[in-house]
């Protein structure tokens, strides 16, 4: 294992391992209103510096690395881009909210693990504060010999809107297999068509069979542009205090994207003052292993 360091300055937090900046967390929430300004992690890199995330791809400008999103919150869109309506399909509306960074606390900036807690407010397009969030990022497990490192993410969302909030996705609003919401990672375009494996499903199941399924983890592997070799992202379903089971949103083609969705096809309703808590783990591996090796690694590193 190797020690990590964390520096926070300006509008970003950067995690470094052995001279490589493996994670950048942009927390200022800038960007176009239509893109749903919010904090995001980009770039994420392997321990040898290869890219693991994409930023503002031409097909979806609001896809920014790894970020917490929610596509439907009582008619507001905290993801970005157009909103799906049952009667009209996708339309661009004046309903795209933002997540405002308020403060950091409990910062650990050096050692085998570095971490920070963060307080945020979710604000609607009309300027109303609807959700108070407390989230934590913990970076650890950096192992140069094996070429991998680990990110643990935890968050609690509290309804401060003064009325019930309905949390859902395009699928809860009528579009099949579009349950993207929650902790979403957009991977490099070079990974388009990459291999997707899931715990409990056959090696050849593929992304289409995994879409909407329940599985303890999903592993997405792809080849890099510019540098030799490839990498793998193992994402764990984690936990949710909401009633619906966490289901997977995953596509390999035409966009390499992956998310454990807490409200894939069922709404979560939060009464005023009620909370929703989520935990997730991602393992970032600097190689493409065999399917059997990937399954063994996923079992070994499960939270």
Domain span holding position 244: 4-300
22-41 pLDDT, tens per residue?
999 999 988 899 999 999 99
**Mean pLDDT within 68-85:** 97
202 phi, psi to nearest 5 deg: -60, 155
pLDDT at 31: 87
pLDDT attached to residue 288: 98
pLDDT level of residue 224 (50, 70, 90 thresholds) = very high
d(CA 237, CA 259): 9
Quick check: helix, strand or coil at residue 70? coil
What is the reported pLDDT for 249? 98
Q: Tell me the mean pLDDT in the region 189-213.
A: 97
Report the pLDDT value the prediction gives residue 65, as an integer from 0 to 100.
98
Residue 47 pLDDT grade (very low, low, confident, very high; cuts 50, 70, 90): very high
Element at 4 (helix H, strand E)? strand 4-9
Give the burial class of 8: count Cβ atoms within 10 A of its Cβ; 0-12 exposed, 13-18 middle, 19 or more buried: middle
* Averaged pLDDT, 74-89: 95
Predicted confidence (pLDDT) at residue 261 exceeds the cutoff of 90: yes
Q: What percent of the chain has pLDDT over 90?
A: 98
Q: What is the DSSP string of 231-270?
A: EEEEEE--EESSSSPPEEEEE-SSS-EEEEETTSSS-EEE
243-260 pLDDT tens trace: 999 999 999 999 999 999
| CATH code for the domain of 53 | 2.70.98
Mean pLDDT throughout 133-139?
98
Residues 274-285 have pLDDT tens digits of 999 999 999 999
Whether 220 has a pLDDT exceeding 90, the answer reads: yes
Q: What is the model's pLDDT at position 29?
A: 83
pLDDT, one tens digit per residue, over 152-165 is 999 999 999 999 99
Mean pLDDT of the chain: 97
Q: How many domains does the chain have?
A: 1
């Amino acid at each position: 294992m190797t020690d990590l360091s964390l520096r926070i300055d300006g509008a970003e937090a950067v995690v470094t391992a052995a001279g490589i900046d493996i994670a950048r967390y942009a927390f200022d929430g800038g960007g176009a209103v239509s893109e749903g300004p919010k904090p995001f992690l980009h770039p994420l890199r392997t321990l040898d510096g290869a890219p693991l995330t994409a930023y503002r791809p031409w097909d979806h400008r609001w896809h920014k690395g790894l970020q917490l999103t929610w596509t439907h919150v009582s008619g507001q869109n905290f993801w970005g881009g157009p909103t799906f309506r049952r009667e009209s399909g996708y339309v661009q509306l004046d309903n795209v909210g933002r997540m405002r960074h308020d403060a950091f606390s409990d910062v650990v900036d050096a050692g085998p693990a570095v971490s920070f807690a963060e307080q945020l407010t979710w604000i609607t397009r009309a300027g109303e504060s609807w959700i108070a969030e407390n989230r934590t990022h913990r970076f650890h497990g950096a192992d140069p010999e094996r070429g991998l490192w680990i990110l643990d993410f935890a968050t609690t969302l509290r309804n401060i809107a003064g009325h019930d909030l309905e949390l859902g996705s395009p699928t809860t609003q009528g579009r099949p297999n579009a349950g993207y919401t929650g902790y979403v990672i957009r991977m490099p375009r070079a990974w388009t068509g990459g291999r997707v494996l899931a715990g409990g499903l056959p090696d050849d199941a593929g992304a289409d069979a995994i879409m909407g399924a329940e599985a303890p983890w999903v592993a997405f592997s792809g080849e890099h542009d510019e540098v030799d070799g490839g990498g793998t992202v193992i994402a764990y379903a984690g936990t949710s205090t909401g009633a619906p089971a966490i289901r997977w949103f995953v596509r390999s083609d035409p966009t390499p994207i992956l998310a454990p969705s807490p409200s894939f096809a069922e709404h979560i309703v939060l009464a005023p003052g009620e909370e929703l808590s989520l935990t997730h783990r991602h393992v970032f591996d600097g190689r493409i292993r065999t399917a059997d090796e990937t399954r063994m690694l996923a079992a070994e590193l499960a939270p």
